[in-house]
Amino acid sequence: MNKITIAIDGFSSTGKSTVAKRLAKHLGYTYVDSGAMYRAVTWYAMKHNFINRERFDVDSLVSHLDDIHISFVFNKDVGFAEVYLNDENIEKYIRSLEVSSFVSRVAEVSEVRSQLVKQQQKLGKVKGVVMDGRDIGTVVFPNAELKLFLTASPENRAKRRFSELVKKGDAVLYDDVLKNVEGRDYIDSHRKDSPLIKAEDAIEIDNSNMSKDEQFHVILDIVNRKLKENA
Ligand code: CDP
């Protein structure tokens, strides 16, 4: 069967990566978490003090972009590819609320975007890829055979993200998580370069009232129909 490219975009914490990982595993495709790449650059900027609560030194970050090498290494114990920054596994650092509080500002920077988009297009050169993010169906793979756009109410999304962080042992407040989800949605949808918008040919799925399992099966049906069309 012909392999296709599946682009999954949507607002923060809509369960994109959960469904993308499961789909990739089911189909034997490669999963690429483009958000992890923006988080990796943000982590680098935080470590070098280019970004903190008081200031964001965009010029310094941009002048160091060539020193930032991001790679994905499959970890069979967890069943997905973990993100590495300059050969260090940074998977456990990049999902914190602190990184989330800076990432959308880093992702507004055009030089950061063009560098990462290039790498994402390279990773998706061979068909058989599921990639999730904000601009995958619009900018990274405008010709993807299947584009999905996931939405859910902000409260549902904040609840999901809050329980994920609590499960990991992070001491966070629900209100701070909700504020972060809403704040990132705003910046991601209003930035000049590649704002989060639904591609014209994307299928929109509101998963506010779906379990992870239901969402997976709804999406798998859509994928199977698309695969038949492309066979
Ligand atoms: O998983 P979650 O919804 O929290 O977000 P993510 O996919 O890890 O992405 C983190 C942030 O990276 C987003 O809020 C965007 O600011 C940025 N991002 C982007 O601009 N473009 C992408 N293709 C992916 C992420």
Q: Which of these, 179, 161, 178, lies nearest to 170 by C-alpha position? A: 161
The atom number, within ligand 1, closest to the CA of 12 reads 3
Instruction: Report the top-level CATH class of 5-223.
Output: alpha beta
Q: What residues does ligand 1 touch, defined as CB less than 6 Å away?
A: 12-13, 17, 34-35, 38-39, 103-104, 107, 133-136, 184, 188
How far, in Å, is the centroid of ligand 1 from the Cα of 1?
A: 31
Compute how many other C-beta atoms are within 10 angstroms of the C-beta atom of residue 216.
17
Q: What is the pLDDT along the chain (231 residues), one digit of tens a residue?
A: 789 999 999 999 999 999 999 999 999 999 999 999 999 999 999 999 999 999 999 999 999 999 999 999 999 898 888 999 999 999 999 999 999 999 999 999 999 999 999 999 999 999 999 999 999 999 999 999 999 999 999 999 999 999 999 999 999 999 999 999 999 999 999 999 999 999 999 999 999 999 999 999 999 999 999 999 988
Measure 9 CA to ligand 1 centroid, in angstroms. 9
Contact assessment for residue 155 and residue 27, using Cβ atoms and an 8 Å cutoff:
no
Q: What is the pLDDT of residues 91-102, one digit of tens each?
A: 999 999 999 999
What are the domain boundaries of the chain? 5-223
